[in-house]
Structure 1
Amino acid sequence: MAKAATKNENPKTNPKDASNRVKDPDQWTTGSEPMTGAQASYLKTLSEEAKEPEAFDPDLDKAEASKRIDALRTDAGHA
């Protein structure tokens, strides 16, 4: 179990506490917002590289786009 942060430590930047660095997209507080322009652009590029143009859906939210990007990175050979 990770050591509790002291008063002067910032839990967001504490390198010994990775719990704040990687979160499941389903746990994002902004996950239901529309995907960002950067996500849309990267998702479009990856879907073309993976030869899966149907994977690009402009109506995805941030969390869905992130999960689709992770899957396509593998399919396109980027992982």
Structure 2
Amino acid sequence: MPKRILQGVVTSDANEQTITVNVERRFTHPVLKKTIRKSKKYRAHDEQNAFKVGDTVRIIECAPRSKTKRWEVYAGADA
């Protein structure tokens, strides 16, 4: 089963080797037929501390690295 890849904006880089990424998704409400925006924050592993607040990054699922980190920065060919 392929791992999920999400795209979002870095909202915090205060921790060592960790960034907080805000991922926004849009969908149509099934009853109201109105576009709704929902966002969720993910903690991702950033090995080189390369990303700063405001950067757009892609993250990919990984094995748990800590209590809250289950994602890492994706360094694919199209990233």
Question: Normalised by the size of structure 2, how large is the TM-score?
Answer: 0.21
Q: Which has the larger radius of gyration?
A: 1
Q: TM-score, normalised by structure 1?
A: 0.21
Q: Which structure features the higher share of strand residues?
A: 2
The structure richer in helix per residue is 1
